[in-house]
Amino acid sequence: MNMSGQAQIAPAMVASDLTMSDLRDALAAGWNDFRAYPLFGLFFGAIYVAAGMFLYFALFERGEIAWLVPAAAGFPLLAPFVAVGLYEVSRRREAGMPMSWRAVLGALRGRGDEQILSMGVILFVAFAFWLMVAHGIFAVFMAESGIGSESLALFRTTAGIMMLLVGTVVGGLMALAFYAITVVSLPMLVDRQVDFITAIIVSLATVRSNKFILLVWAFIIAIALFVAMLPLFLGLLIVLPVLGHATWHLYRRAVGLPGA
């Protein structure tokens, strides 16, 4: 650690002095990016909304509406990958670069080295793993309640409430772990030519050096996404892009080049 409040984690300098003011500044900058280029934000938000609605109506049609709870709870695991295009919008706006759909959508491919796609695979595997874990938790408590997955009445029983508590704790720990490895790594992969292992190491170091502030940021993200999903996921049209742009600005505040 040096006197400027940074730790060197090659190939980056990680700040250890993030404050609540940085979170406010990041949110303000994220809102400004969204207002400057709303079509990009609405596009990526719409992907999330469409996926949520498809999931809702598919489960409703199959009479398994209770499964919407664990599925929706696992959705935030995928949000960082969806936000990659938003990071590119913020990067280009910050650098004064021309904006185009080809460039923004191309960010999902990374820098031609498949590092971002590798992170995407990790996140989708995490989502699938969460659904498996949720299925196990659900099966245990559903058998005890005697109520099928076609009814939300399950969540008004003692077994259902216990299932929500256990699922919330397990899901929260999983979400926190994946938040720690993605909050900095994905914007870093958009910003720099590094491998995803290095980016994960820098992300973990950033969280370790700013535990309280980045836990607050995780809480803000979780609450904002939860509230945004309530009206048939429609709130994500605004909330997701603003949070995505804001995460980029928080990354830029937290991580600098060595010697910077």
pLDDT beyond 90 at 206: yes
Burial of 146 (0-12, 13-18, 19+ CB in 10 A): exposed
pLDDT beyond 80 at 94: yes
CA distance 11 to 192: 10
Strand-pair partners of 255: 14
Residue 170 pLDDT level (bands cut at 50, 70, 90): confident
pLDDT beyond 90 at 18: yes
Give the distance, in angstroms, between the CA of residue 88 and the centroid of all CA atoms in the same chain. 16
Tokens of 64: 């398994």
pLDDT value at residue 260: 47
pLDDT (mean) for 163-190: 86
Mind listing the pLDDT tens digit for each residue in 72-93? 666 666 677 778 899 999 999 9
Structural domain spans, the chain: 29-255
pLDDT value at residue 249: 97
Contact (CB, 8 A) for 86 and 241: yes
pLDDT value at residue 89: 96
Task: Name, of 19-23, 51-55, 191-195, the range with top average pLDDT.
Answer: 19-23
| Choice between 229 and 18, residue whose per-residue pLDDT is larger | 18
Q: Strand order in 12-15's β-sheet?
A: 6-9, 12-15, 255-256
pLDDT beyond 70 at 166: yes
DSSP state of 151: -
Residue 131 pLDDT level (bands cut at 50, 70, 90): confident
Task: Name, of 13-17, 31-35, 103-107, the range with top average pLDDT.
Answer: 31-35
pLDDT value at residue 6: 62
The pLDDT mean for the chain works out to 82
How many CB atoms are located within 10 Å of the residue 33 CB? Answer: 25
Tokens of 225: 């996404």
Contact (CB, 8 A) for 21 and 6: no
Task: Name, of 1-10, 92-101, 131-140, the range with top average pLDDT.
Answer: 92-101
pLDDT value at residue 148: 53
pLDDT value at residue 107: 84
